[in-house]
Amino acid sequence: MEFRQELIQIVEKSGAHPAWGIKHCFRVYHLAKELSSHLMLDDEVLFAAAMLHDTGKYPIYAIKNVDHALRSKGVAANLLQQMMFSPDKLPLILDAVENHMYYSEPGRCDEAVYLRESDILDNLGNIGLMRLFSCVGQDELIQTPEQALERARLFADALPDKVSTKSGKRLAIKRREETLRFLAGIKRQTAEFAWI
């Protein structure tokens, strides 16, 4: 079986919540390619990192009280070694996986930078809102719609500043505006959030 199909099956069988599952991985992968279109990234590295970057939060691999980015790095290392993946590319993938979170500094390779940018951007705008609200009652940090709205506000305020590339910054501005328009509409339609 081709390595891409193997990675897709790993994510599909992982018990991942749809907000972090295979469609999120594909969005991150394709957005990273779009944002980096002016560069020649290693597509195998980018694809593998995009497919495996959240494995540490999937039920089959998660360990309580372990940062999911670090856990994902360990899971990715094990899976890719079992698949006999190129040892030259493995450090690049692991760098991207470990440093994909907004609270991390960008990784050292371009694939890591653009994976992180795309993951951050998938938390903003219409898609970010859809992901947040799909997690209500499914995530310890988002038990109510009010918590999802608060998280959307926090993301709109904080995440655009975490993006570092020109193409990423342009998209972050657009997606932040989408989020803020949504929040303003909800505020108007719910007597300033009283009727959520």
C-alpha atoms less than 13 angstroms from C-alpha of 94 in its C-beta half-sphere: 18
Residue 23: pLDDT band with limits 50, 70, 90: very high
Phi first, then psi, for residue 139 (nearest 5°) are -130, 135
Residues contacting 111, CB < 8 A, separation 6+: 32, 41, 42, 45, 46, 49, 92, 93, 96
User: What is the predicted pLDDT for the residue at 22?
Assistant: 97
Distances (CA, A) of 34 to 31, 48, 133, 185: 5, 17, 26, 30
Average pLDDT of the chain, as a whole number: 96
Residue 60: pLDDT band with limits 50, 70, 90: very high
In this predicted structure, the answer to whether residue 51 has a pLDDT above a threshold of 70 is yes
In this predicted structure, the answer to whether residue 8 has a pLDDT above a threshold of 70 is yes
| Mean pLDDT, range 152-179, rounded to an integer | 98
In this predicted structure, the answer to whether residue 1 has a pLDDT above a threshold of 80 is no
State how far the Cα of 40 lies from the Cα of 47, in Å rounded to an integer.
14
| Mean pLDDT, range 130-141, rounded to an integer | 93
| Mean pLDDT, range 143-170, rounded to an integer | 97
In this predicted structure, the answer to whether residue 189 has a pLDDT above a threshold of 90 is yes
76-90 pLDDT, tens digit per residue, is 999 999 999 999 999
